[in-house]
Homo-oligomer: A and B are copies of this chain.
Amino acid sequence: MCPAPIEDDGKRGFIIPIGGGEDRVKEMAIHRKFVELSGGPDADIVVIPTASMLEETGPDYHRIFSELGAGKVEFLPIAQRSDCDNPEFSEMLDNATGIFITGGNQLRLSAILGGTLVAQRIRRRNAAGVPVAGTSAGASIMSEHMVAGGSGSTAPAEGNVTLAPGIGLTNAVIIDQHFTQRNRLGRLLTASSYNPFLIGLGIDEDTAAFIGPENVLEVVGSGTVTVVDASQLTHSSMWDARPGEALSLLGLRLDVLNEGCRYDLTAHMAYPPDEHLALCALPVTDGDNTA
Asked whether, in the complex, the Cβ of B256 is within 8 Å of the Cβ of A247, the reply is yes
Q: Give the number of copies in the complex.
A: 2
- Interface status of A235 (Cβ within 8 A of chain B): yes
Binds B, one of A2-10, A32-40, A134-142, A149-157: A149-157
Contacts of A184 in B (CB 8 A): 154
Contacts of A235 in B (CB 8 A): 261, 270-272, 275
Contacts of A247 in B (CB 8 A): 224, 256, 258
Contacts of A256 in B (CB 8 A): 155-156, 189, 247-250, 252
- Interface status of A183 (Cβ within 8 A of chain B): yes
Contacts of A246 in B (CB 8 A): 204, 207, 222-224, 258-259
Name the distance in Å between A25's Cβ and chain B's nearest Cβ: 20
In this complex, the member of A153, A255, A259, A261 whose beta carbon has the largest number of chain B beta carbons within 10 angstroms is A255
Asked whether, in the complex, the Cβ of A250 is within 8 Å of the Cβ of B223, the reply is no
Q: Which residue of B lies closest to A224 (CB)?
A: B246
How far is A224 from B235 in the complex, measured between Cα atoms in Å?
14
Name the distance in Å between A184's Cβ and chain B's nearest Cβ: 8
Contacts of A275 in B (CB 8 A): 235
Name the distance in Å between A287's Cβ and chain B's nearest Cβ: 17
Q: Is the contact region of chain A dominated by helix, strand, or loop, or is it mixed?
A: loop
Asked whether, in the complex, the Cβ of A270 is within 8 Å of the Cβ of B255, the reply is no
How far is A261 from B235 in the complex, measured between Cα atoms in Å?
10
- Interface status of A266 (Cβ within 8 A of chain B): no
Q: Which residue of B lies closest to A270 (CB)?
A: B250
Within 8 A of B (CB), among A244-291: 245-259, 261, 270-273, 275
Residues in chain A within 8 A of chain B (CB atoms) = 153-156, 179-180, 183-186, 189, 204, 207, 222-224, 226, 234-235, 237, 245-259, 261, 270-273, 275
23 contacts between A and B (CB under 8 A): A153-B180, A154-B179, A154-B226, A155-B204, A155-B224, A156-B256, A204-B246, A222-B246, A224-B246, A224-B248, A234-B270, A235-B272, A246-B259, A247-B256, A248-B256, A248-B257, A248-B261, A248-B272, A249-B256, A250-B256, A250-B272, A252-B254, A252-B255
